Chain A
Amino acid sequence: MVGNYVWILRRLFYTVIVVFALTTVVFLSLHLLPGDPVHALVGERASHESVERIRLKYNLDKPLYIQYATWLRNVLRGDFGTSILSKRPVIDEIMAKLPHTLELIILSQSIAILLAIFLGVLSAVKQHTILDYLTTVLSVLGVSMPAFWLALMLIITFSVKLDWFPTHGLMGTGVPLRTISQSYLIDALLTGNLLALGSFLKHAFLPCVVLATIPLSYITRLTRSSMLEVMNEEYVWTARAKGLSEFKVIFKHALRNALIPVIIMSGVITGLLMGGAVLTETVFGLPGMGRLLVDSIAVRDFPVALACVLLFAAGYNLINLAADIVCGLVDVRASYD
């Protein structure tokens, strides 16, 4: 047991190093880029003095290693600097965007995972029926479809032609909502504001469908194939022979083991999801982290871009680590080394 904790701590330490190294490489590469953020900010025709003033203010006149050391020292103190574009603290920018991305991801993923496991089990248990074929075809289509194209098709069908959902944003204009947590969902629930809740759900519906599609298809396929494998294992037959109900056999004995591959692949799925969030937020014009990353890179807003990279990398690696740990706990065969 002690060995496990040492292993987990070592992995955690290594994860921190990898995230730090990645951010360093990104810092250096972004600063070696041609194209001057100062000019992007004040325009090409700005006076020499104003260019110099901004250069001084953001430390852009100093050698790269000093800029890097300053940045690192500040980040370790929890200060991510000031956005060059909006002039607001980076942490404020992120706190305004992160809750929206999280509410979309949590909503869409909880539905996607539950539905995927249900469909995967169903199509494995009812193998070679129409239901199984339909699920398989849909999940293959789901993984082959570019998420941003699905988003466009949904907009054309459900927003433009049928006019059921809005095409843009996360909250209707003019809907009164007191800001408590920056998350529309939580704020609407906390204040019991049904109007705002309705508006949010209406706006979030299509983006959630898009964000759910890839994990849904992926996990359905995985669950189905690992269920099929597990259903022929001896312990499943033993459970049946003991006279347990088919429901108990499937959900208590088979599914628990069939889910291991799903946990193993959760890192991959998270990666796909993060890429999908960038594109989905762009298509639907949502105020989230994905768009913040795209926009900050486009205008060379280094402090914001770096903070986004740091956050995405930390999230991605921590989920991968968590998946490894859970697999180790669930499956005794996985070795810690």
Chain B
Amino acid sequence: MIEFSSFKKNKLFIIGVGMSGMVILCGIFAPWIATHGMTEGTLQYRLKPPSTDHLFGTDQLGRDVFSRVIHGARLSLLSGSMVVLISAVIGVSLGVLAGYRGGIIDNFLMRLTDLLLAFPSFLLAMLVVTILGLGLKNAVLAVAIAYIGPLSRLARGTTIKLKGIEFVEAARAVGGGPWHNILVHILPNIISSILIQMALNFGAAIVDIAGLSFLGLGAQPPQPEWGAMLSSGRYYVQTAWWLCTFPGLAIMFLVLACVFVGDGFREILDPKHG
């Protein structure tokens, strides 16, 4: 089993957790950290460069960019977690079911997975969100669907490996039912590799949702979603550099945190693959 101290010793993991912690705190305490309201603006103060009053400047409607970026943390964290949760629950269930039962069910589920894997994930999400309709909720669902394929492959592979190992066979021999076996013997043993994938997916999900919003398919104005802010800011690149710069830095900070957590976690579990 992994020891708690190995988490404390891994610098990468600690830095990643610290960085994500900062974003989470920003998300929770957004109304107190933000210096201005996220949708209130005065046209008189539009497109003002960063100053002590407006740390990140103001946008085309005179809204405070700093406050909007801080509020955007909530949206990004929420949508990222939803993507990761939905895709993991569906992907792992499908994968474990396919791997454990085998036969026709396995064949059917894996051909379905092949279909999901037959298209680059961002383009798949683009198609799905077009079919579901525009908006942040549908964008989250679309990205989640696009992430199911690799997770179910991973879960299936590890389940098949575990099924052949003595302790699971022994549990089956003494009459353990499928549910008992899956919940007690299989899931706890695949959870760590799934968790690494979830941490890395979280970062990718943030970027993909921002990308969808950037194309106008995800979050809609006036939602302070980072990708949507970049999307409206790009019309002012000639005059107001701050509109595009800060929301992008926020995305990068959060994604970097996820990469550190995921990589650190992998190093802890499997020290050989540093």
Contacts and interface: CB of A to CB of B under 8 A. Distances in A.
A294 B244 CA distance: 22
Contacts of B120: 270-272, 274-275, 312, 316
A293 to B, nearest CB: 7
A83 B194 CA distance: 44
27 contacts: A22-B115, A22-B118, A22-B119, A140-B256, A144-B252, A145-B252, A146-B230, A146-B252, A146-B255, A149-B210, A149-B248, A152-B230, A153-B248, A156-B237, A156-B241, A156-B245, A160-B238, A161-B241, A167-B237, A278-B215, A279-B211, A294-B126, A294-B215, A297-B126, A297-B127, A298-B216, A313-B119
Interface of A: 18-19, 21-22, 25-26, 29-30, 32-34, 140-141, 143-146, 148-149, 152-153, 155-156, 160-161, 167, 225, 270-272, 274-275, 278-279, 282-283, 293-294, 297-298, 309, 312-313, 316-317
Interface of B: 114-115, 118-123, 126-127, 130-131, 133, 203, 207-208, 210-211, 214-216, 227, 230, 233-234, 237-238, 241, 244-245, 248, 251-252, 255-256, 259, 273-274
Contact of B210 (A25, A146, A167): A146
A147 B180 CA distance: 45
B122 A278 contact: yes
B131 A29 contact: yes
A153 B244 CA distance: 8
A18 B123 CA distance: 16
A235 B237 CA distance: 54
Given A146-B210, A152-B248, A160-B238, A26 B127 contact: yes
A275 B211 contact: yes
A22 B117 CA distance: 10
Contacts of B208: 275
B123 A149 contact: no
Contact of A149 (B119, B133, B238, B252): B252
B237 A271 contact: no
B131 A271 contact: no
Interface SS, A side: helix
A21 B113 CA distance: 12
Given A145-B252, A152-B234, A316-B120, A18 B114 contact: yes
A225 B263 CA distance: 13
Contact of B123 (A140, A155, A312): A312
A304 B231 CA distance: 25
A102 to B, nearest CB: 16
Contacts of B118: 18-19, 21-22, 313, 316-317
Contact of B207 (A19, A146, A160): A146
A144 B259 contact: yes
B229 to A, nearest CB: 11
B248 A146 contact: yes
A-B pairs, 9 with minimum CB distance: A275-B122, A149-B248, A271-B120, A144-B255, A274-B120, A152-B244, A144-B256, A29-B131, A18-B118
Contact of A160 (B241, B251, B252): B241
Nearest to B230: A149
A143 B127 contact: no
A274 B234 CA distance: 22
Contacts of B211: 146, 148, 275, 279
B161 to A, nearest CB: 15
Contacts of B121: 271, 275
Nearest to A312: B123
A282 B210 CA distance: 14
Contacts of B227: 146
Contacts of A317: 118
Contacts of A144: 203, 252, 255-256, 259
